[in-house]
Amino acid sequence: MSRAGLDKNPHDIAEMFDGVAKGYDRTNSVMTLGFDRRWREQTRRVLDAAPGEAVLDLAAGTAVSTVEYARSGAWCLAADFSLGMLRGGASRDVPKVAADAFHLPLRDNSFDAVTVTFGLRNMSPTPAALAEMLRVTKPGGRLVICEVAQPPFRPIRWLYHHVVLRMLPLVTKPFSSNAPAYRYLAESMRDWHDQKTLARMISDAGWQDVEWLNLTLGVVALHRAVRPGG
């Protein structure tokens, strides 16, 4: 597979995730030194969903994120276009739907909140995905994006790009079912937007009150926004 870039073919992306579905959860935990669990917990807190609300967890993969968000008591729907990933999470007791983020088979204004955890950077063009999320969110509803980010402190950013991301494919090799896919993932992490740029894209897509919170020295960030009109 070629370099990640930010211009990705959806068919290749779905196929790649089908290929890593087996063992995805375990490799992800190894790759993040177990921090992934903490990042999803923090996403649940920022999402602040409540019983009676409907939450769309887009790019849910094996639904590992969806079960975490369902702990809030809200009704949480896992959506993903990789059938392999959805099947990998078959034992997770949350509703699931096969869906492409750019053409969601869901009604306008139907969710109190939409969230994407480690999925947005695979969606190109990003503004179109953000606009489709806006369409299915109720006026006044929330968007929470948990995504890899660019550490703001320069020495940390250097270490992250030149040491951590270079080592990642080597560290994950013994655990993953698809080594090239993890090389791709490391490249997509390096190439992704910084927090300010993503905030601007979210706002340009029609969301308001956009803010972000850096997690773990800014290796990951949570972006939060509201659909106007609530």
Ligand X SMILES: C[S@@+](CC[C@H](N)C(=O)[O-])C[C@H]1O[C@@H](n2cnc3c(N)ncnc32)[C@H](O)[C@@H]1O
Per CB under 6 A, the list member of 32, 122, 178, 188 interacting with ligand X is 122
Task: Choose between 56 and 60: whose C-beta lies nearer to ligand X.
Answer: 60
The Cα 4–Cα 119 span in angstroms is 14
Per CB under 6 A, the list member of 69, 118, 160, 212 interacting with ligand X is 118
Stretch of 56-64, 134-142, 150-158, 187-195 lying at the interface with ligand X (CB under 6 A): 56-64
Q: Are 172 and 182 in contact (CB under 8 A)?
A: yes
Helix axes 24-31, 165-172, angle to 10 degrees: 140
Q: Which of residues 132-191 bind ligand X (CB under 6 A)?
A: none
The Cα 165–Cα 150 span in angstroms is 12
Least Å distance, CB 82 to ligand X, is 3
Task: Choose between 105 and 209: whose C-beta lies nearer to ligand X.
Answer: 105
What would the two tokens of residue 24 be?
């995805």
Q: Which of residues 3-42 bind ligand X (CB under 6 A)?
A: 10, 13-14, 17, 28
Mode of pairing for the β-strands spanning 137-148 and 208-215: unpaired
Stretch of 105-113, 119-127, 148-156, 189-197 lying at the interface with ligand X (CB under 6 A): 119-127
Instruction: Tell me which residues touch ligand X (CB under 6 A).
Output: 10, 13-14, 17, 28, 59-61, 64-65, 80-82, 85, 100-102, 117-119, 122-123
